[in-house]
Amino acid sequence: MTEIPNPPTTLAERLQRGNLFAEKCPSRDILTHVTSRWGVLLLVALLSGTHRFSELRRKVGGISEKMLAQTLQWLESDGFVERIAYPVIPPHVEYRLTPLGQEIAQKVESLADWIEVNLPDILAAKRQKAE
């Protein structure tokens, strides 16, 4: 079992750190937003730069307009995505990662890369389990 180096000792430190295993810990909502299928894909897509809504919809195959809008709202409310609305007609809105978003996007990109690299072994294990 791996221990956390310098575990929090004061109440203030424990509250600041959060406790993902606690039922009502707010970090669970953020984890859900970041690690959802669409959250991961949008964060990785935004690593390449600023995108319009329609560009993201094309880039992330299979996402509905509703899920795209909802996931972008979650990521924006968590401070990972910045929404830039230009006062023009028709409306022009762009999305880009914040510095915090850049950091988390790189982490989920590493997870996505690991899955892609190991996909043949994962699929083989699934086939073997099904037999």
Residue 15, pLDDT score: 59
pTM for the model stands at 0.81
Q: Strands of the chain (E only): list them.
A: 51-52, 81-86, 92-97
Residue 45, pLDDT score: 98
Q: How far apart are CA 35 and CA 108, in angstroms?
A: 8
**Residue ranges covered by each domain of the chain:** 11-130
pLDDT digits (tens, 9 = 90+) for 79-114: 999 999 999 998 899 999 999 999 999 999 999 999
Alpha-carbon distances of 93 from 7, 53, 125, rounded to whole Å? 43, 7, 43
Residue 35, pLDDT score: 92
Residue 126, pLDDT score: 93
Alpha-carbon distances of 84 from 13, 33, 97, 103, rounded to whole Å? 35, 20, 11, 20
Low-confidence ranges of the chain (pLDDT < 50): 1
Give which of 60, 40, 39, 64 is closest to 51, Cα–Cα.
Answer: 60
Helix, strand, or coil (residue 25): coil
Residue 88: DSSP 8-state: -
Q: How many other C-beta atoms can be found within 10 angstroms of the C-beta atom of residue 79?
A: 13
Q: Are 43 and 36 in contact (CB under 8 A)?
A: no
**Could you tell me which CATH class the domain 11-130 is placed in?**
mainly alpha
